[in-house]
Structures are given as structure tokens and as C-alpha cells.
């Protein structure tokens, strides 16, 4: 608890800077007409400024430079983060082609990996150290480009990406305070403060969006911090970032699989993301959908914390959550209305759930629309 309390100065200063800059950022966006573009994936209407990430970026960098002993690795992370932020900011203003934006993300990822030694070198499995030098660069690279895109993909409802990111960062702080990664946890606290100050402007009905600059920068920092915090930990600890980031990572993987099955481009927008499914198929309101996904993220975050103290109980909790998530994926047809192996197995064994033309869930319908 003392370690958590000692992180408050950085958290408060970053919060204050972001709190002051967020409305200024909105005024800048209004003045220069930097609005979010409506498409078939978005659910917002009207002119909403989409460069809110500018306030978060400045507050985070300022907080790190003031309170953190920015060693070479951290300086390379900030340099790479600046490249990623710049790519997102340009995209928010001029709508870059997806490949051009990806090049910014890839360049930003390579900086800490190649020049800052931000790598996953080895893991320990049941007391045995396993060196993964041959694939460490590839794994680290895929992780640092994957998480920003995952956070960006779930930024489809007001307050969703920013709220989930705050929960993830807070969990990093808690786990870091109990482990030997206090420095990494402190930086997570600084970023969490910047995000929290922005959240009231971003929550429904949003006055300001993160934009690609904000979502990509936050995702990039989360990816790099997770590598710093867990790169030398045990096999179980290696899974912490994946567990905590379950919602955005799951949504991203399903989106890739779904679009491949349908013959679509991976970058092509659709309304089959997790938040769209909850809103349109389950009928929840905008706010309730966001709050539900906050709850799911919090449950996975708690399971990661429990896992740190008790592998047995943490593993049980994670298994239950994953089974529940998988059943939901099959019921709602998030991958395909014809893909439901677990429900199909249950149907063959017990005869339930039965199929019907009027079934509420896709997996239980005889004819799929």
C-alpha cells in the first residue's frame, strides 16, 4: 500500500495537466475542424473533436520527465511513442491510408526494441529458464504493434477505450507495487492519471474523442510497459498482460478471423465488434454497454491479481471467465453464425439448447439471416 501511495504525486500531476489541457485541445479541434468521420462502424452523430489524445500525450510525457528516472530504455519508449502519436495525429487530421498509419506504428515499435532493449528475452516454466532469443524480436514486435491496434479497435463507443485502458493501467500499478517493478508501475500510474482526467469529456455523450493519436499512444505505452514489467518474470506472470487486456485482444483476434472468413480486408470496418454485438443484439444502451465491458475488464484484472497471489484460485477464475466468454462468442455468432462447437457438443449430448426459427441467439437459429 505504501508503494501505491508513493505513486500519487505522479498520478496527480499528470491528472492536473491533462485536466487543464483537455478542454484546450477541444477548442483547438473546433477551431481547425478536426472532427471524427462518421462511417458504418461508428455510432456517434455530429461534429466531435477527435484529437483528445494530444492532452494525454503531453501530460504523460511531462509526468514521466518530472517524476521518473528516464533511463535509456524509457527514453527510447518515449521516442517511439512520439512517432506512434504523430502518425495517429496526422491520421486524425488528414485520414492516412491504413498501411501508412501502420508504418508509423511499426517504426515506433522498432525504436525501443532495437535501441532500448525492450524485449522479452526469456521465460521461466516450472522453475526452468527458457531462452527465447531466436524469436524475442518477433514476439516483442508483434506485441508492440498489436496492442495499440487492439485499443484503437475498441474505441468505438464513448469512453470505452479510455475507461478500459484506465482499468488496465491501474492493475499494472497494483501488481507492480507488489512485485519488483515499481518503476514501471509508477509510469503506469502517470499514464492512468492522464487518462482519468480525460475520461469525463469522453464518456457518453462524448464531447471529445481520443482519436487515433490517443488510442494508439495509450496502447503503445501499455504494450511497452507490459514488456518492461513482465519480461523477466515467471511463465504465469508472462500471461498477466494478456489476461488484463482480454477484452481488446479478444475483440481484435475475432475481428481478424471474422473478416478473413468473409473475405474482407482486415482493415475494413464493420459493426460486429464486441460493443456492437452487446448494443444491437442484446439491446443494451450505449452507457450500459460501456459499463458492462468495464465490468468484464475489471473481472479479468482481478483474476490477474488473484493469480499473482494464488495460482490455483487465479487459474480457476480465469478458466470460468474464458469459458463464459467463449459461450457468449458462440451464442452471438461473433465469428460466424455457423461456428459454435461447444454449444453444438452440448446439443448433441443433452439436446439443449434447441434450435428455433425465432431463437434469440444466432447459434440457436435454424435459419441465419
| Per-residue confidence band for 111, with pLDDT thresholds at 50, 70 and 90 | very high
C-alpha span between 222 and 228 (Å, rounded): 10
Q: What is the per-residue pLDDT for 233?
A: 46
**pLDDT value of position 12:** 97
Instruction: Please state, in angstroms and rounded to a whole number, the distance separating the CA atoms of residues 360 and 369.
Output: 12
Q: Is 141 exposed, middle or buried (0-12, 13-18, 19+ CB in 10 A)?
A: middle
- With a cut of 90, say whether residue 273 has pLDDT above it: no
* Averaged pLDDT score across all residues of the chain: 87
Beta bridge partners of 123: 130
Whole-number pLDDT of residue 166: 97
Averaged pLDDT for residues 39-46: 58
Q: Name 336's Cβ contacts closer than 8 Å, sequence gap at least 6.
A: 258, 261
More confident residue, 352 or 121: 352
Per-residue pLDDT, 272: 73
Between CA 195 and CA 214 the distance in angstroms is 9
pTM, full prediction: 0.90
Contact 181, 229 (CB under 8 A): yes
Q: What is the pLDDT of residues 60-104, one digit of tens each?
A: 999 999 998 778 999 999 999 999 999 999 999 998 999 999 999
Decide if pLDDT at 257 tops 60: yes
Q: How confident is the model at residue 133 (pLDDT cuts 50, 70, 90)?
A: low
Let me know if 237 is exposed, middle or buried by CB neighbors in 10 A (0-12, 13-18, 19+): buried
Of 58-62, 284-288, 343-347, the range with the highest mean pLDDT is: 58-62
Cα 184 to its chain centre, rounded Å, is: 18
Q: Which segment of 40-54, 270-284, 347-361 scores lowest on mean pLDDT?
A: 40-54
Amino acid at each position: 500500500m505504501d508503494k501505491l501511495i508513493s505513486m500519487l504525486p505522479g498520478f496527480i500531476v499528470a491528472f492536473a495537466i491533462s485536466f487543464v489541457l483537455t478542454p484546450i485541445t477541444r477548442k483547438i479541434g473546433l477551431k481547425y475542424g478536426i472532427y471524427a468521420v462518421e462511417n458504418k462502424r461508428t455510432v456517434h452523430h455530429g461534429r466531435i473533436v477527435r484529437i483528445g489524445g494530444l492532452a494525454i500525450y503531453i501530460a504523460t510525457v511531462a509526468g514521466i520527465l518530472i517524476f521518473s528516472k528516464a533511463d535509456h530504455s524509457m527514453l527510447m519508449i518515449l521516442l517511439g511513442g512520439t512517432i506512434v502519436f504523430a502518425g495517429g495525429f496526422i491520421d486524425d487530421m488528414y485520414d492516412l491510408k491504413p498501411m501508412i498509419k501502420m508504418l508509423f506504428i511499426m517504426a515506433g515499435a522498432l525504436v525501443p526494441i532495437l535501441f532500448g532493449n525492450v524485449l522479452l528475452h526469456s521465460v521461466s516454466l516450472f522453475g526452468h529458464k527458457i531462452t527465447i532469443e531466436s524469436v524475442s524480436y518477433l514476439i516483442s514486435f508483434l506485441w508492440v504493434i498489436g496492442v495499440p491496434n487492439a485499443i484503437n479497435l475498441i474505441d468505438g463507443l464513448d469512453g470505452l477505450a479510455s475507461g478500459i485502458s484506465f482499468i488496465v493501467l491501474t492493475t499494472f500499478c497494483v501488481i507492480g507495487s507488489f512485485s519488483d517493478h515499481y518503476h514501471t508501475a509508477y509510469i503506469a500510474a502517470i499514464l492512468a492519471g492522464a487518462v482519468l482526467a480525460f475520461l469525463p469529456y469522453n464518456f457518453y455523450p462524448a464531447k471529445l474523442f481520443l482519436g487515433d493519436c490517443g488510442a494508439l499512444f495509450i496502447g503503445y505505452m501499455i504494450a511497452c510497459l507490459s514488456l518492461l514489467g513482465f519480461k523477466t518474470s515467471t511463465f504465469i506472470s508472462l500471461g498477466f498482460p494478456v489476461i488484463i487486456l482480454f477484452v481488446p485482444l479478444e475483440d481484435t483476434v475475432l475481428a481478424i478471423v471474422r473478416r478473413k472468413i468473409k473475405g474482407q480486408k482486415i482493415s475494413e470496418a464493420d459493426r460486429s465488434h464486441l460493443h456492437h454485438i452487446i448494443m444491437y443484439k442484446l439491446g443494451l444502451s450505449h452507457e450500459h454497454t460501456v459499463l458492462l465491458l468495464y465490468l468484464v475488464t475489471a473481472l479479468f484484472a482481478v483474476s490477474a491479481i488473484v493469480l499473482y497471489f494464488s495460482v490455483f484460485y487465479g487459474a480457476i477464475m480465469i478458466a470460468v471467465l474464458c469459458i463464459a466468454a467463449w459461450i457468449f462468442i458462440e451464442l452471438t455468432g461473433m465469428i460466424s453464425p455457423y461456428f459454435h462447437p461447444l454449444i453444438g457438443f452440448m446439443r448433441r449430448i443433452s439436446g439443449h439448447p434447441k434450435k428455433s426459427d425465432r431463437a434469440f441467439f444466432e447459434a440457436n437459429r435454424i435459419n441465419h439471416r
